[in-house]
Structure 1
């Protein structure tokens, strides 16, 4: 009787620990992505305040150039924070990443305008984006390792889905706040000071996320690996000499996922405004609506993958993007339902992928190399294909050839489709070496 009671108490404590971990991971990741994405959402307003140029288009290109430049730090963040996570624990890396993100948001919130301090304004904005790029590069991989290692092996898809569930909440809040501000403030007020408000919110929220992450325990799988005294923990040399196959698999599957996130999760409202003249209020309302649907799909798709496997969902995602992305995006009109429909097409398909990619990536690598193994390669892909998305789309729109970018994305989707077709199913594999 005492043994049964003790076991029941242990189960309750373990359940509470898992729930606390999921909450900290989900909320912390939501705040991370709120902070990171509001830059792209607000660039159309602050570009004229912080950057020099002869026209609005030149200033917006400069703002998105800094957005892309910030992605240079993502591979460095994946490497440095990945090594930190593999050698000193997932929690340490997650706490540091959210501090860096909050600092970047604070700098953007208080930076004086170009008219007041000249070229120091874009320099400060660039430093802020570099800090945020470093943060995001380390956050993604550490969060995946943390979620994968604390999930039951038969429910890794469901538990891993909370990562991008948090991402969806962050993106939805970013889009929603920009929409609310556009509805509450005039265009001149948005340009004068309204764009700073979300950055202030992001900086304050980052402190809360840090507090949450300080309260969670380290993963048992990591503690076991560290106790075994493995000497290669976090070794980049080991990663590229003994783990080349999963690295190249990650490169291949990451291309379409990266395009999908930055095209549909961040840029489509700006694209609709620039291409069709849609009002910012309409575009961001449609984006927020689609992001809400995207977010809610994650637990369902995560559970589905635990039953049918990871590969079928990813094949549907990459296949539909390869065939239909080009005509769907070019059909955009300046109405709520047109923009929302295109966003829902892209984001629901992407949810098939993003809901399970944390499980897939955690299943590709061994414990002592897991975080840096995920963080460095995926952030190289994101730096190459993700950070350039808004800049390329804006530039190609300015010369009336935005369809070229959609062809480029379709080719990337086909590469991902072939990679997924050739990879083995990872569902149910053990994370313990």
Structure 2
């Protein structure tokens, strides 16, 4: 008697794997909602946690983005520690830890006192919350991306990988959408005084929901189970670097352009438009939210395309696009909605060539035993150095009267990654996971 075909969803995903996909994605939504709520609300609470009488009006915003960058500095530590934990004790346990940690950080942000009330203690508390969230996000990428890729059926790793940024983008959409709704319904004085706290309270609640959903996931790492039973040796904290240094270095080169482009186009662009060409900040957030829907739709399409034609063609197209386009695109920025949306959508088409497959490319470079730490730590380090500092550098260029230097900075970094894609990266789509 013939075996009936495996039931599949419309995207060709076996229904038995859909539960795994939802567990990683919905928890990831909660993680990234909390992370992005900070940047979405930075323009509102910067004057609450830093002194308003600074000699330059951009000083509070620069300080908030400085703390945004500080949060990124914890991401490599999260990628290393939580990634190693995931390799030793399983992806599911690590993902449970990261979602709890993110909820705690969000709750601290929600109750952060103002500078007027407690003085310098206010920014100190803000830094503490971002350090906690940075540790969580670094660990989330290490554990959730490997979980996604290991859950994929044959020939679908690119598609499963794309849901990392589908869920990331949904989390960002929620953050921006809630910020936009509050900004349009509350008076400016109310938004500045207490309205910015509401999204962080919502974030803590979403984290609880994500925790509940992740409890139903199945473990994907057989090695972690063997470690628990003493059948194989527990991997060391730096085993990925000791045994696979070339792969770790390769991830750095792969990620440089992607992280700068991502945090510029999806996070910093509304602020850039506001302070560079005086584009209305509420309109920028609203239009950015619409653009992110388009970006989310692109992810699975690009992921499936990579499963057919390979990872390298998409990465090369992305790299060339962001080597050649930032200078002319950002040079066309004006205070019109049409120019803002056009610039954002063009960039997102190229950017999706990186975001949709980064989880697959990173995971395919390492064996299961060190995959979470190996894929997570160097990636998070690169994001911290280049992605987390992108808003700070962009704002600093504008503050110095040289906004045109920032797109050149982006293009230079994109060129570095493009050379890596062309000359150093081997095609991995048809290789079985080690």
Q: TM-score range by the shorter chain?
A: over 0.9
Do 2:87 and 2:224's aligned partners in 1 also have CA atoms closer than 8 Å?
no
Contact 2:88–2:224 (Cα < 8 Å) also in 1: no
Aligned-residue CA RMSD (Å): 2.0
**Contact 2:90/2:225 (8 A) holds in 1:** no
Once the two structures are superposed, the pairs formed by residues 110-259 of structure 1 within 5 Å of their partners are: 110-219=111-220, 221-222=222-223, 226=227, 229-231=231-233, 233=235, 235-259=236-260
Number of residue pairs matched? 427
Kept after mapping to 2: 8 A contact 1:153/1:428: no
- Aligned runs of 1:9-408 on 2, under 5 Å? 15-52=14-51, 54=54, 55-219=56-220, 221-222=222-223, 226=227, 229-231=231-233, 233=235, 235-408=236-409
For the 8 Å contact 1:172–1:292, the answer to whether it is kept is yes
* TM-score of the pair, normalised by structure 1: 0.94
Distance 1:73 1:98 in 2: 16
Deviation at 1:115, TM superposition (A): 0.6
1:146-197 Cα offsets, whole Å, 9 max, x none, are 0111101211111111111101111112122222222112222211111111
CA offset at residue 8 of structure 1? 7.0
Change (3 A) 1:67 1:8: closer
Looking at structure 1, the residues matched to 134 and 351 of structure 2 have their Cα atoms a distance apart, in angstroms, of 22
TM-score (norm 2): 0.94
- SS of 2:364's equivalent? helix
How big is the shift at 1:338?
1.4
Native 8 Å contact 1:41 1:270 kept in 2: no
Deviation at 1:221, TM superposition (A): 4.2
Shift of 1:391: 1.2
CA positional deviation for 1:322: 0.2
Tell me how far 1:283 sits from its aligned partner.
0.4
Please say if 1:424 is aligned against 2:426.
yes
**Which runs of 5 or more structure 2 residues have no equivalent in the other structure?**
none
Answer yes or no: is the 8 Å Cα contact 1:153–1:429 preserved in 2: no
CA distance in 2, matches of 1:28, 1:297: 21
Please state whether the residue corresponding to 2:334 is helix, strand or coil. coil
**Deviation of 1:27 (Å):** 1.3
SS in 1 for 2:156: helix
Mapped contact 1:150–1:220 kept (Cα < 8 A): no
More helix, by proportion: 1
Structure 2 CA distance, aligned partners of 1:326 and 1:229?
55
> Which region of structure 1 is more displaced relative to structure 2, 53-62 or 247-256?
53-62
* TM-aligned CA deviation for residue 17 of structure 1: 4.1
The whole-number CA distance in structure 2 between the counterparts of 1:102 and 1:157 is: 29
Deviation at 1:225, TM superposition (A): 5.6
Structure 1 residue 48: Cα displacement: 0.5
Question: How far apart, CA to CA, are the structure 2 residues paired with 1:171 and 1:101?
Answer: 15
Residues 270 and 284 in structure 2, CA contact (< 8 A), matched pair in contact too: yes
Farther off after superposition, 251-260 or 390-399: 390-399
**Cα drift, residue 215 of structure 1:** 1.1
Deviation at 1:20, TM superposition (A): 1.2
Deviations 1:389-429 (A, max 9, x none): 11111111111112222212111101100101121100021
